Structure 1
Amino acid sequence: MLSASIRSSVLEIKRIASVHMRKERRDVESQSSSKTSFCTRHGLWWTFGIDIPLLLILLALIGLFELGVIPNHKAGFYCNDPALNFPFNGDTVTTEILMSTLLAGPLVFFAITEYIFVYVDYSESRIRRTCINTFYLYRTYIYGLIMNLSIVEVMKGIVGSPRPTFFDLCEPDAGKTCNGTEYVKDFKCTSTKYASWYQMDSYRSFPSGHTSLSVYCGLFLAWYLQRRAFNWSHRSIFMVPMLQLLCISYAAVCSLTRITDHRHHWWDVLVGSIIGLATVLYAVIISSNFSYDHSKIGDLKSQESRQTVRTLLYDERRPATVS
């Protein structure tokens, strides 16, 4: 009888403990759900109330700089300067080609790479996870790209350095009457061959925007491949290095053709390269607030099988953040 009493007491204790554990689990899940809902609302408020308006203001300012609505400084020139007397023959890499590759290329690149390397379990769609990963990677990329463009536009507007094709594009009025190597500070473009935008752009040489943007794009993609897809144990050991070489070659071609086309001086290209490198380092190392969880919290089995790549762009074991 005593043994039966003890057994019933033990069973009762287990039942009570089980009830308490289920209650605590429901409380934790409820708190987690409530916290996630709050973070989502908080993140959306910051995104639509602060981030997007600031981004639109910044893009508007860049557009006003580019269109000349916000005045640009004119640095002046020396009469008969041979370094500014090259004919304008167009661009090997046009602005349209550059911007299309800068915006569309990385998006496709991220999507294909993530689809190949992403981990998914039975409860998740591979395409959905690929889209989420691609979104957060592309957001980081665009953040650095806009910062790069902003720095270049401000420097162009402040310095106002003449291009090597300055005399052909601008045909400054003072250049027709000055003698020798006299320095001309005030001038007005009088060209009838080129539109007003080309005339204004003739004294926006420093630094090279093509160079800074292409270097940023090429190095960002090469860095991403190194941290995400590079592994000597893969079946193809040369695929990733060849793709990295292609990315760096893209940056080199866009940069060096600015000199061979006589669209920039060599120091413009050098400084543009430095800006591109600096913004890449900022985007992938310093701006760690773009981290995103690529795994499900609490799924220990998935965490064990997901020991792939933890990059400086995202950490797969960090909690999900909404911004």
Structure 2
Amino acid sequence: MSSDGTVCWGLIVAFVKPFHALFFVNDVRISFPFAEVERVSVPWNIIYALFVPLSVLLLVNFFARSSAAKHEATYLAFFISIALSQLLTDILKNAVGRPRPDLLSRCVPSASATTTKPVDITACTAPDSRVLQDGWRSFPSGHSSFSFAGLGFLALFLSGQLGAFRLGTRDLGRALVCFTPLVGAALIAISRCEDYRHDVYDVCVGSAIGMTVAYWSYRRHWPRLSSHRCDEPYPRGSIAAGREQQGDAAAAGWQRVRDEEEGAVDVGYEMETLRENRG
């Protein structure tokens, strides 16, 4: 699934142009300068949110001497989180076509463009390039969704392996370790506002998409973080929720009580044996 998502994402980025929403040439919300040097560029975002979490996942599983099934559940869920979040984000970017805060710097509107009503892309004097087209991909933030899909997944994985939220656990140190990747993801998201690539709304929605997909992908393979078995993935082919509920009930000391129909044969047998002994 992750490979299919990656292919679709690449096709969208390479060939699909965004919807060009109308804009006002005197709109101060899209009149910010174009940042030539970004605080967190795309390559660095890939390093921070893909390779750094992947390295931590590899190290944790290596030192824990994890089984092949655990390796598979870890990396499969991680790459699905990354690929699916970006696929959804880029579909929304192109469908919504919201102008970026620096659109006017990319567009360079014609001096004769009207200021009393909205105009379209034809009012731009800048050449039709990738930079100009990207000016209509503000919502949601791709950096934010990517960072939370990768680093957010890492936070979930560490929480499960360390048992930070297991019932009865109150270790602040473990909780802080698990919280650290989320701080990194948040800083990446905030940098997009500082570069005037997005506003707060774009960043918040992008972050929510990334974290939601990360949690969804994680829970497809791993129990909830409060489970006493949160450090082990679900068995292959099992019904996750049913297995987890049964395991939690047994751990709490609840056992299935044999009903009357199950005991009917044994009870009849015992009564017949008693009669024979008396006779």
When the two structures are superposed, what TM-score results if normalisation uses the length of structure 1? 0.63
Residue in structure 2 matched with residue 61 of structure 1 by the alignment: 8
Q: For the residues of structure 2 that align with 1:153 and 1:188, how far apart are their CA atoms?
A: 25
The count of residues paired between Structure 1 and Structure 2 equals 230
Residue in structure 2 matched with residue 251 of structure 1 by the alignment: 185
Residue in structure 1 matched with residue 206 of structure 2 by the alignment: 272
Cα gap change, 1:279 to 1:313, in 2 (>3 Å): farther
| Cα distance, 1:188 vs structure 2 | 5.8
SS in 2 for 1:77: coil
Q: For the residues of structure 1 that align with 2:231 and 2:12, how far apart are their CA atoms?
A: 33
Q: For the residues of structure 2 that align with 1:185 and 1:168, how far apart are their CA atoms?
A: 15
How far does the alpha carbon of each residue in 1:257-291 deviate from its partner, in whole angstroms, 9 at most, with x for none? 11121110111111112212221221122x24x89
| Cα distance, 1:71 vs structure 2 | 2.8
Cα gap change, 1:182 to 1:79, in 2 (>3 Å): farther
**Would the aligned equivalents of 2:193 and 2:199 in 1 still touch at CA under 8 Å?**
yes
Structure 2, unaligned runs of 5 or more? 166-170, 239-279
- Larger Rg over CA atoms: 1
Cα gap change, 1:261 to 1:223, in 2 (>3 Å): same
Residue in structure 2 matched with residue 207 of structure 1 by the alignment: 140
Q: For the residues of structure 1 that align with 2:157 and 2:42, how far apart are their CA atoms?
A: 25
How far does the alpha carbon of each residue in 1:277-319 deviate from its partner, in whole angstroms, 9 at most, with x for none? 221221122x24x89xxxxxxxxxxxxxxxx96238713xx35
| Cα distance, 1:179 vs structure 2 | 3.1
| Cα distance, 1:152 vs structure 2 | 0.4
Residue in structure 2 matched with residue 100 of structure 1 by the alignment: 47
Residue in structure 2 matched with residue 151 of structure 1 by the alignment: 88
How high is the sequence identity, in percent, across the aligned residues? 24
Q: For the residues of structure 2 that align with 1:191 and 1:79, how far apart are their CA atoms?
A: 14
SS in 2 for 1:262: coil
2:20 is aligned with 1:85: no
Structure 1, unaligned runs of 5 or more? 1-50, 120-128, 292-307
| Cα distance, 1:104 vs structure 2 | 1.5
Moved more, 257-266 or 212-221: 212-221
**Would the aligned equivalents of 1:117 and 1:229 in 2 still touch at CA under 8 Å?**
no
Q: For the residues of structure 1 that align with 2:228 and 2:16, how far apart are their CA atoms?
A: 45
Higher relative contact order (CA 8 A, sep 6+): 2
Which amino acid is 2:114 matched to? N
**Would the aligned equivalents of 1:219 and 1:247 in 2 still touch at CA under 8 Å?**
yes
Q: For the residues of structure 2 that align with 1:164 and 1:231, how far apart are their CA atoms?
A: 40
How far does the alpha carbon of each residue in 1:104-147 deviate from its partner, in whole angstroms, 9 at most, with x for none? 1122111221233346xxxxxxxxx4x76334301111112111
2:17 is aligned with 1:71: yes
How far does the alpha carbon of each residue in 1:207-265 deviate from its partner, in whole angstroms, 9 at most, with x for none? 00111111222221111111112469xxxx66533432320111110111111211101
When the two structures are superposed, what TM-score results if normalisation uses the length of structure 2? 0.72
Residue in structure 2 matched with residue 114 of structure 1 by the alignment: 61
Q: For the residues of structure 1 that align with 2:53 and 2:189, how far apart are their CA atoms?
A: 18
**Would the aligned equivalents of 2:49 and 2:150 in 1 still touch at CA under 8 Å?**
yes
Match of 2:117 among 163, 167, 182: 182
Residue in structure 2 matched with residue 223 of structure 1 by the alignment: 156
**Would the aligned equivalents of 2:48 and 2:147 in 1 still touch at CA under 8 Å?**
no
Cα gap change, 1:153 to 1:319, in 2 (>3 Å): closer
